Amino acid sequence: MALAGCGRGDSLESFGGPTMGSTYSIKYVRRAGLAAPSEVQAQVERILVQIDRQMSTYRNDSDIERFNDLPANSCQAMPAAVLRLIEVGQQLSRDSQGAFDLTVEPLLNLWGFGPQGRGEAVPSDTALAQVRQRVGYTHLRIEGDQLCKDAAVEVDFNSIAAGHAVDRIAARLAEMGIDSYLVEATGELKAVGRKPDGSAWRIALEEPRDDRQLAERVIAVDGYGVSTSGDYRNYFQRDGQRYSHAFDARTGRPVEHGLASVTVIHPAAVMADGLSTLLLILGPERGWDYAEKHDIAAFFVIRADTGFVTRSNHAFDRLFAGQKQ
Domains of the chain: 3-53+160-319 (3.10.520.10), 59-149 (1.10.3980.10)
Residue environment code for 5-40, b if the CB has 16+ CB neighbours within 10 A, otherwise e:
beeeebbbbebeeebbeeebebbbbbbeebeebeeb
Q: What is the structure's pLDDT at 6?
A: 41
Spans of the chain below 50 pLDDT: 1-7, 211-213
- List the Cα angle 222/226/228 in 5-degree steps: 155
Q: What is the structure's pLDDT at 123?
A: 82
pLDDT tens digits, 212-251:
445 568 999 999 999 999 876 565 566 566 657 788 888 8
Q: Which amino acid is at 34?
A: L
SS3 label, residue 235? strand
Q: What is the structure's pLDDT at 234?
A: 60
Burial label for 267, CB within 10 Å (0-12, 13-18, 19+), is: exposed
